[in-house]
Chain A
Amino acid sequence: AQKVTQAQTEISVVEKEDVTLDCVYETRDTTYYLFWYKQPPSGELVFLIRRNSFDEQNEISGRYSWNFQKSTSSFNFTITASQVVDSAVYFCALSEVSGTYKYIFGTGTRLKVLA
């Protein structure tokens, strides 16, 4: 069965600190997609990144970076020099490539960035 675990329920940091959100997944598929979504206080779910299982290159987008390690089934998300606007709940998700294409979401990590 597929499963996504975000063990950190809530993290608080002071502005300008770096913070890493952990995501560990389980799947028997050899091909799959991993995602991160952001849910700010306003409530909408905003897509941040997609990574397919064949691409283990890390990715950087501004202050955001993602570390995908297939060997440990992890897809961690780091925010560098955090800002108050980064305060949100962040969800990691796993999707099959074939068949149902269903997303399995983790339980989310609430990030609070304090000024």
Chain B
Amino acid sequence: DAGVIQSPRHEVTEMGQEVTLRCKPISGHDYLFWYRQTMMRGLELLIYFNNNVPIDDSGMPEDRFSAKMPNASFSTLKIQPSEPRDSAVYFCASRPTHSGANVLTFGAGSRLTVL
């Protein structure tokens, strides 16, 4: 199993540009989570999906952030327009449905720098 795959690993962009982060969850995992990690706020849950449907997006900072999951094997997190305060590491994580395996597997993260 290749694990949770995120791309790009590093992204440097200028303020105002659109940023798209991508995630491929582990096959068979029905839940997908997007987290953001910063020094100031630690690990924050942004949004999560179950069976491709967004369940809770209360952690999405503002309308500049959007996330989609068009199918079971792909999700995107988009920031438009980006701002310097969006600089962070964005993690995608997935897990299977059955409650006995409530363990999140994280991707390697996408480090975003907005200049």
Contacts and interface: CB of A to CB of B under 8 A. Distances in A.
Nearest to B9: A43
**B contacts with A: majority SS:** strand
A20 interface: no
A102 interface: yes
B25 to A, nearest CB: 15
Interface of B: 31, 33, 42-43, 45, 48, 55-56, 89, 91, 93, 95, 99, 102-109, 111
A44 B106 contact: yes
A6 to B, nearest CB: 10
A82 interface: no
Contacts of A70: none
Given A101-B31, A105-B42, A105-B43, A47 B105 contact: yes
A108 B39 CA distance: 10
Contacts, number: 45
Nearest to B100: A52
18 contacts: A43-B108, A43-B111, A44-B106, A44-B108, A45-B91, A45-B93, A47-B103, A50-B103, A97-B102, A100-B55, A101-B95, A101-B99, A102-B45, A102-B56, A103-B45, A103-B104, A105-B42, A106-B42
A64 interface: no
A107 B104 contact: no
Interface of A: 33, 35, 37, 43-45, 47, 50, 91, 95, 97-98, 100-103, 105-108
Contacts of A108: 42-43
B56 to A, nearest CB: 6
B56 A100 contact: yes
A43 B89 contact: yes
Nearest to A46: B106
A50 B45 CA distance: 19
Given A43-B89, A103-B45, 16 more contacts: A43-B108, A45-B93, A45-B106, A45-B109, A47-B103, A47-B104, A50-B102, A91-B43, A95-B102, A97-B102, A100-B55, A101-B95, A101-B102, A105-B42, A107-B42, A108-B43
